[in-house]
Chains A and B, each alone.
Chain A
């Protein structure tokens, strides 16, 4: 057991800090222009820090998962813009391509992903299919007329974040009927969003933003070379992608930042007419959040140790995904209690206290994480 970062890792941390000092766009995060962010991403790409832990032969930086951890941690501490503009593409589409893609697919998709020229969205959920993803019904049928060179896709996806800006959708379809083969009937397709027959309709979230959509597929023709993995192996592809999504969601760095903001709010708040920080219940609650966030960070490092020993992220990512939900909503509600009647107004804290409800559901609800832990880790019978 050794929690010291190696000399090489520490050297890397110094390099990251120097880079941030030089290149982090000035001003508050919310005041940054798209141009600032583009320039920031350009500099990151030159360093090969976008896709940093991907293999160099795939255009990544060949960094270790520990270095990647350091990079994200330092960026979060310094409130820099995100690492690359295509969150979903980088967090799970790229890794899935690296693991399951053909050489031609990697050549075609990875450079654009790394350079921020493609934005991806993810098409799993359907109106009738949420938690029970394997029941999905959107169909893809090989078009015999075209000599089997195309699939024809029909159906509907929903809650598709960023579909209105995405160039590509990472999409699960059914190629064999559910009654014949539930898991084995699922296939993964990579579909250009400008394909004829795709229609995107916005859905307004309760926060009032437009972030997710419905996407309709009407006889959409997709070349077979856009299939990721073999026909019927989509479930395998998506299990890896979901573990990556959850491990991204489970990173503690965002939570650490939220806690710092929450402490600042507490310093400036009153409870029953006295400074909030004189209230032992307020102090204890902050101490509890801090302890649990440390547990998340350390759980993450334990998982990274396993990854260094060669096992890719898997069911253990559900632990931190679950914890994040256990923390995020209570922390947001705690901030509202510190605000007192100001909680009735609008503002960043108030918005947060609404936004987290969506974050906790996306990537699989807390109940689904409980099921995964109970069934796949503890071996309890499936319900």
Chain B
């Protein structure tokens, strides 16, 4: 039993934090948010060189073979600095091919995802379907040993930047299939929507009669439900790790403000109406960390516990980050409501993160079901 990070993980945390503090402080984040792509291609290349894009991919495909606990460290720091870009999407596309693909498929796509030349993402749901593997829409038609797929996938992260899509669909009377679709496919339209958090891009992916050959299908056709569930859980775990970093940063910014801002002759943090919500934010952060670290560890070491531990973590984090977002703005007073102060950036992230990979309604329901009720 050991609830600590090892030395390598602590070093990874320090180097990610140093890199992001130097290369992408919040001024830079704000600048990138104004650009069409929303991220810096130059920094993307640096991430690849540092080995962070391939952190969880096997070494033989250009990755560094680390686990989800390591990835959690990376993503906590990425969340702390609101670092924008298709990092989580690309990591998840890599996980999909690594966990669901054949050796041939891995050699074909993973090196590009690890070295930054390919940007990947997941396209799982249409606008009307509920979150979860059961909500994957019937957009496929069997043709020979492959499929023809048509439909519109919603909430696809980094849809305009990605050039490799992990698309989920089902054919009538079949289970879920996951397949790789490349962006140069004809009859593919990616549309980015205006989003509440300019550091997180997403939109719709439209496919019109796109042919999926057998060689692009991950695992057995019609048998991808387990893989889809695994990826949704990994997505929720990744999202939770980013939430922790962002929620802690917002708590810290607000604690500092409460120490500096003086009203009625005292720093406002002297008053309980201010200090108590901050204490609660701290408690929320501690709980998120405990739950998320356990979830990450179970992805690496204890597959039977992944569903429950991930849902506890993301369910709790969805609610807690929402609370901390409110606290952060309200305790700043009017400056909190300005464009200029950074707390608004975190508030917007909290709005984006709550439904990403399932909100608390979805996850608490799942915890209840798994808990035997």
Q: Do A and B come from one complex?
A: yes
* A interface with B by C-beta (< 8 Å): 1-6, 9, 66, 263, 266-267, 277, 280, 283-288, 290-292, 294-296, 298-299, 301-302, 304-305, 309, 319, 322-323, 367, 369-371, 373-375, 377-383
A266, B276: Cβ atoms closer than 8 Å: no
Contacts of A9 in B (CB 8 A): 1
Does B352 lie at the interface of the complex (its beta carbon under 8 Å from any beta carbon of A)?
A: no
A378, B279: Cβ atoms closer than 8 Å: yes
Interface string of B1-44 (1 = CB under 8 A from A): 11111100100000000000000000000000000000000000
Residue of B nearest to A259 (CB): B371
Contacts of B297 in A (CB 8 A): 1-3
- A6-B1, A263-B373, A290-B312 known; A295-B290 Cβ under 8 A: yes
Residue of A nearest to B305 (CB): A3
Q: How many A-B residue pairs have CB under 8 A?
A: 172
Interface string of B187-228 (1 = CB under 8 A from A): 000000000000000000000000000000000000000000
12 contacts between A and B (CB under 8 A): A1-B6, A267-B373, A283-B369, A286-B364, A291-B312, A291-B316, A294-B294, A295-B287, A301-B1, A371-B276, A378-B275, A380-B269
Choice from B287, B302, B369 contacting A292 with Cβ under 8 Å: B287
B275, A383: Cβ atoms closer than 8 Å: yes
B312, A294: Cβ atoms closer than 8 Å: yes
Contacts of B368 in A (CB 8 A): 283-284, 286-287, 290
- A3-B302, A302-B290 known; A380-B3 Cβ under 8 A: no
| Docked complex Cα distance between A294 and B319 (Å) | 16
Task: Write the nearest CB–CB distance from A156 to chain B, whole angstroms.
Answer: 29
A1, B270: Cβ atoms closer than 8 Å: no
- A298-B294, A370-B280 known; A287-B371 Cβ under 8 A: yes
- A367-B276, A370-B275 known; A4-B312 Cβ under 8 A: no
B315, A291: Cβ atoms closer than 8 Å: yes
A287, B2: Cβ atoms closer than 8 Å: no
Residue of B nearest to A299 (CB): B290
Task: Write the nearest CB–CB distance from B133 to chain A, whole angstroms.
Answer: 18
Choice from A283, A299, A319, A382 contacting B365 with Cβ under 8 Å: A283
B316, A295: Cβ atoms closer than 8 Å: yes
Contact residue range for chain B? 35 or more
Task: Write the nearest CB–CB distance from A354 to chain B, whole angstroms.
Answer: 26
| Docked complex Cα distance between A122 and B272 (Å) | 29
| Docked complex Cα distance between A122 and B69 (Å) | 44
Given contacts A2-B297, A367-B276, A379-B259, 7 further A-B contacts (CB under 8 A): A3-B301, A266-B373, A286-B368, A292-B316, A319-B282, A371-B279, A374-B269
Task: Write the nearest CB–CB distance from B315 to chain A, whole angstroms.
Answer: 5
Interface string of B276-290 (1 = CB under 8 A from A): 101110110011111
Task: Write the nearest CB–CB distance from B264 to chain A, whole angstroms.
Answer: 12
Contacts of B337 in A (CB 8 A): none
B269, A1: Cβ atoms closer than 8 Å: no
Does B161 lie at the interface of the complex (its beta carbon under 8 Å from any beta carbon of A)?
A: no
| Docked complex Cα distance between A247 and B302 (Å) | 28
B366, A287: Cβ atoms closer than 8 Å: yes
Which 6 A-B residue pairings sit nearest by Cβ, starting from the closest?
A: A287-B364, A298-B290, A295-B287, A287-B367, A374-B275, A373-B279
Choice from B4, B259, B280, B372 contacting A305 with Cβ under 8 Å: B4
Within 8 A of A (CB), among B287-323: 287-291, 293-294, 296-298, 301-302, 309, 311-313, 315-316, 319
Choice from A1, A266, A319 contacting B2 with Cβ under 8 Å: A1
Residue of A nearest to B363 (CB): A287
B278, A374: Cβ atoms closer than 8 Å: yes
Contacts of B4 in A (CB 8 A): 1, 305, 309
